[in-house]
Amino acid sequence: MQKTVRDYIRTIVDFPKEGILFRDVTTLFADARGFRMAIDQLLHPYAGMRIDKVAGLEARGFILGGAVAHQLSTGFVPIRKKGKLPGRTIAQEYALEYGEAVMEVHDDALEPGQKVLLVDDLLATGGTAEAGIRLIERLGAEVVGCAFVVDLPDLGGRRRLEGLGMAVHTLCAFAGH
């Protein structure tokens, strides 16, 4: 039987706190076939589209986004937690279950009119992805798609991003949190 991307993802019970089923993609990254499969499937819907940059959300989105950017022969833009980028940045606050957080991007990372693919490992509530979208749009670029390995549909992230008019592509889904 042929393996799917989902088969390479390990579930860790009660991490980071009791009652959570953590979907660990490091096991996917560690397997050459699994990792290649994930990258190929992430970029497949965008073949032939104009994509000027791939933006990855900290931190696992850097691994995936960098590989996708390489395959698309385009540049990569990191969207990081506050205080991690060395140059001038713009910031976007967003809500978490337990408070607020801030994402940043260099203020010169994108040019107006550029087409950007946003990449991350997991789509849960969509808050981090929405912050990334807002940053990209504030620089005048256009998000042409949002690609994730894992969707947690019970948490509503896909609905949230689609409500913003985003095209969302995921490779697999897991029920629950």
The answer, yes or no, to whether residue 1 has pLDDT greater than 90, is no
- pLDDT-derived band at 177 (thresholds 50, 70, 90) equals low
- Distance (Å, rounded) from C-alpha 93 to C-alpha 128? 9
> Per residue in 64-92, pLDDT tens?
999 999 999 999 999 999 999 999 999 99
pLDDT reported for residue 72: 96
CB atoms within 10 A of CB 124: 21
Crossing angle between the packed helical segments 32-43 and 60-72, to the nearest 10 degrees: 70
- Which H helix or E strand runs over 161? helix 157-163
- pLDDT-derived band at 144 (thresholds 50, 70, 90) equals very high
DSSP secondary structure letter of residue 55:
E
Secondary structure of residue 145 in the 3-state scheme: strand
pLDDT > 90 in the chain, percent: 93
Q: Where are the domains of the chain?
A: 48-172
Given the residues 23, 60, 158, 160, select the one marked as catalytic.
Answer: 60
Gap between the terminal Cα atoms of the chain? 28
Given the residues 18, 88, 97, 100, select the one marked as catalytic.
Answer: 97
Q: Which fold has domain 48-172?
A: Rossmann fold (3.40.50)
Q: Does the active-site annotation cover 130?
A: no
> Per residue in 120-142, pLDDT tens?
999 999 999 999 999 999 999 99
> Per residue in 4-28, pLDDT tens?
999 999 999 999 999 989 999 999 9
Q: Does the active-site annotation cover 137?
A: no
